[in-house]
């Protein structure tokens, strides 16, 4: 009987002990669960001798300190300045880019001119081209009932057709006044002589649309004129810009009498003037064109705040034989730039931009 009581007592103590242990474990789990997670340790800053190369981290070799410069030995040789043993330009590349070579190239290309039909500038041709241009712009950015500004309006026919056929009002601005302006002015068309890059007469946000045709390449300060265009454009407004690029085949603007490609890249103005004098002409060389490439324009657009909506390009295939003859000069330019003559960009002023 006593033995049975002792056995029951041991079993009960054992059960109580196990229950106690379970309670302790449950309490610990609850305590740990309620504690906040420790903050992650910050990653150590990368060492200065480490570099990110092709997506993997590479440890640069650790160099022993160099001795002081004062302890470096004297280089052997003469005390006079070092000179080249071989010429910097190999003899086969030495050419005289003079009027004689210019004449030779022009005769070679007389029967295969870069531009076979140059544009005409009589009144009928100007009017016809103006109609085509305004229709082109309207079909691209919609001029109907808009306030339109033409920068570099020239004779003003594009401005007149925009204002009297489509827009609610159109205004042209040019750095010089044209004799055709007085006859074209009216209630829906106006003109201003001036340089917007230096003295902008228009209030901010004055126009819903801007258009400009092959003017920007002749601008002395293209960035500041682009900034002026941005300022006078209303938020959400659109800008139709067409311009000639400097490295292109036709940027000399002399294709009526100069037939070979890139004369402005190969010859200086003095040589072109000398060649002109041989043929009884007095010129200033190639037409003055600023040095902007497409990459420069894109940089300007981004810095000013324009959104580039669309861009298209007119290109002339590279004459590979001619390129090979003058590769030592032409290879200094990207091939894409050499064959790209004109661009057409549609720019937008963001809706949230200040007026």
Q: Output the pLDDT for position 298.
A: 97
pLDDT of amino acid 22: 60
Q: What is the pLDDT of residue 170?
A: 98
Q: Residue 236 region, left (φ>0) first, then alpha (ψ -120 to 50), else beta?
A: left
Report the relative pairing of strands 307-315 and 340-348 from DSSP bridges: antiparallel
- What pLDDT was estimated at residue 284? 84
Least confident of 51-60, 183-192, 345-354: 51-60
Given a cut of 70, is residue 262 above it in pLDDT?
Answer: yes
Query: For the chain, what percent of residues have pLDDT higher than 90?
Result: 67
Domains of the chain from N-terminus onward: 101-348 (3.40.50.150)
Q: Which residues contact 301 (CB under 8 A, 6 or more apart)?
A: 226, 308, 345, 347
Q: What was the pLDDT predicted at 16?
A: 55
CA distance to 6, 47, 166, 289, per residue, from 134 (Å): 113, 61, 9, 25
Supply the pLDDT for residue 26. Answer: 55
Structure confidence by residue, pLDDT tens digits, 179-212? 999 999 999 999 999 999 999 999 999 999 999 9
Structure tokens at 305: 């705040």
* Residue 257 reports pLDDT greater than 50: yes
What mean pLDDT do residues 78-93 have? 62
Task: Report pLDDT for 62.
Answer: 85
Residue 35 has pLDDT above 60, yes or no: no
């Amino acid at each position: 009987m006593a033995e049975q009581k002792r056995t029951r007592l041991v079993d009960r103590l054992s059960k109580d002990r196990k229950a106690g242990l379970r309670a302790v474990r449950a309490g610990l789990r609850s305590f740990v669960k309620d504690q906040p997670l420790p903050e992650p340790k910050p990653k150590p800053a990368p060492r200065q001798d480490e570099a990110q190369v092709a997506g993997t981290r590479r440890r640069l070799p650790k160099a022993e300190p160099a001795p002081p410069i004062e302890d470096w030995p004297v280089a052997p040789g003469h005390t006079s300045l070092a000179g080249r043993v071989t010429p910097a330009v190999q003899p086969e590349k030495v050419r005289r880019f003079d009027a004689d070579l210019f004449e030779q190239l022009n005769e070679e290309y007389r029967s295969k001119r870069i531009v076979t039909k140059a544009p005409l500038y009589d009144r009928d041709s100007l009017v016809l081209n103006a109609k085509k241009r305004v229709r082109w712009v309207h079909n691209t950015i919609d001029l109907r009932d808009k306030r339109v500004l033409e920068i570099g309006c020239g004779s003003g026919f594009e401005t007149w057709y925009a204002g009297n056929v489509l827009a609610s009002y159109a205004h042209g601005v040019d750095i010089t006044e044209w004799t055709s302006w007085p006859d074209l002015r009216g209630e829906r068309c106006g003109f201003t002589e001036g340089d917007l890059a230096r003295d902008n007469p228009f209030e901010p946000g004055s126009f819903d649309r801007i258009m400009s045709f092959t003017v920007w390449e002749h601008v002395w300060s293209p960035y500041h004129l682009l900034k002026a265009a941005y300022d006078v454009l209303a938020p959400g407004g659109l800008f139709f810009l067409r311009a000639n690029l400097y490295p292109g085949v036709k940027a000399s603007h002399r294709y009526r009498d100069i037939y070979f490609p890139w004369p402005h890249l190969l010859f200086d103005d003095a040589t072109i003037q000398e060649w002109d004098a041989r043929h009884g002409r007095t010129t200033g060389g190639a037409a003055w064109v600023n040095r902007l490439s497409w990459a420069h324009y894109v940089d300007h657009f981004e810095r000013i705040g324009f959104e580039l909506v669309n861009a298209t390009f007119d290109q002339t295939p590279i004459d590979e034989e001619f390129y090979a003859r003058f590769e030592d000069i032409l290879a200094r330019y990207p091939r894409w730039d050499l064959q790209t003559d004109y661009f057409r960009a549609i720019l937008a002023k963001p809706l949230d931009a200040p007026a």
